Amino acid sequence: MTRRFEDRIVAVVGGGSGMGRSISLRLASEGAHVYVADLAADAAEGVAKEIVAAGGSASPQQVDATDNASLTALYDRIRTEHGVLHALHAQVGMPGPAGLEVSDEEWAKNIDVNVKSAYYTCTLGFDLLKAAGGKGSITLTSSTSALVGSPFSPIYSLTKGSLVPFTRSLALVGAPDGVRANVVCPGTVHTPMLAQFFGREPGADVSELTKNFVSGIPLGRGAQPEEIASVIAFLASDDASYVTGVTIPVDGGLTAK
């Protein structure tokens, strides 16, 4: 394994499970000190312990990414302990309710989790990324539903779709200070959240729905979270030093059709 993040400071917001966990482990394996931030404190602590047990370096922190004070506390800690942030990944998201009937409460929650959290995760930590001397990187996780319509949850396409132009804007804002910004759009990924995407309707046969959906993927399978992590590691590294403002589908060819 290469050590592209030796002596670098990284934060993964939403790093306690699924893709976020794999991204935290991957960046740590390449030498980063990773702040594993998650709404579930025990999940953040668990991933940080995994990293340390494997010989890496990590700090867990409980963070509610929809709460600006909670995000600010994370960045204040990083500022005090290191004064710089080399890579920031925004992973937080949720599947939206099915169909067009969305209550005010569901609307507000989806906006908070999928849009507000991404915006403030990136902007509140921006000064720390600027301090990285041209090595700052922001990555975000969106979805293929940002690129093609979701017949299951239009609000999910709406909220995740917002991250694509937002990332382009971040890339333009950050360019003078060498802060890059890129977004990945995973398709079907085998994580604990997968069942929530296919099980929105009561009594849904999740295994059958998943099987049918995967059959339409050109590579014939869903992704493992480690496959998403490898793309994030590339984008956050100096290997991608001239890549910014880019949207990358990681979907087994789904959006190529």
Domain contains 2: no
Q: How many domains does the chain have?
A: 1
List the end-to-end C-alpha distance of the chain, in Å, as a whole number: 34
Are residues 223 and 19 in contact, defined by beta-carbon separation less than 8 angstroms? no
Domain contains 119: yes
Residue showing tokens 């709460």: 67
Domain contains 153: yes
User: In whole angstroms, what is the distance from residue 167 CA to residue 30 CA?
Assistant: 25
Q: What is the pLDDT of residue 55?
A: 98
3-state secondary structure of 131: coil
The CA-based angle 4-8-11, given to 5 degrees, is 110
Radius of gyration over alpha carbons of the chain, in Å?
A: 17
Q: Which two tokens stand for residue 224?
A: 């493992």
Are residues 9 and 85 in contact, defined by beta-carbon separation less than 8 angstroms? yes
**Which residue of the set 35, 120, 156, 242 is catalytic?**
156
b/e per residue, 110-139, with b = 16+ CB within 10 A? bbbbbbbbbebbbebbbebbbbbeebbbbb
Are residues 179 and 126 in contact, defined by beta-carbon separation less than 8 angstroms? yes
Q: What is the pLDDT of residue 201?
A: 54
Number of Cβ within 10 Å of residue 179's Cβ equals: 25
Domain contains 35: yes
In whole angstroms, what separates CA 49 from the centre of its chain?
A: 20
What CA–CA distances, in Å, run from 190 to 114, 186, 193?
20, 11, 8
| Domain housing 135 | 9-250
Q: What is the pLDDT of residue 197?
A: 54
Q: What is the pLDDT of residue 63?
A: 98
Q: What is the DSSP letter of 253?
A: T
Domain contains 257: no
Any catalytic annotation for residue 156? yes
Domain contains 4: no
Q: What are phi and psi of 34, to 5 degrees?
A: -105, 125
Domain contains 198: yes
User: In whole angstroms, what is the distance from residue 129 CA to residue 187 CA?
Assistant: 28
Assign residue 44 the CATH number of its domain: 3.40.50.720
Domain contains 256: no
E strands in the chain = 9-13, 33-38, 57-62, 87-90, 137-141, 180-186, 247-250
> Residue 72: CB partners within 8 Å, gap ≥ 6?
124
Are residues 248 and 183 in contact, defined by beta-carbon separation less than 8 angstroms? yes
Taking only the tens of pLDDT, the chain with its 257 residues reads: 789 999 999 999 999 999 999 999 999 999 999 999 999 999 999 999 999 999 999 999 999 999 999 999 999 999 999 999 999 999 999 998 989 999 999 999 999 999 999 999 999 999 999 999 999 999 999 999 999 988 889 999 999 999 999 999 999 999 999 999 999 999 989 876 655 555 455 555 556 666 777 888 999 999 999 999 999 999 999 999 999 999 999 999 999 98
User: Residue 218 carries which side chain, given as an amino acid letter?
Assistant: P
3-state secondary structure of 256: helix
**What is this structure's pTM?**
0.92
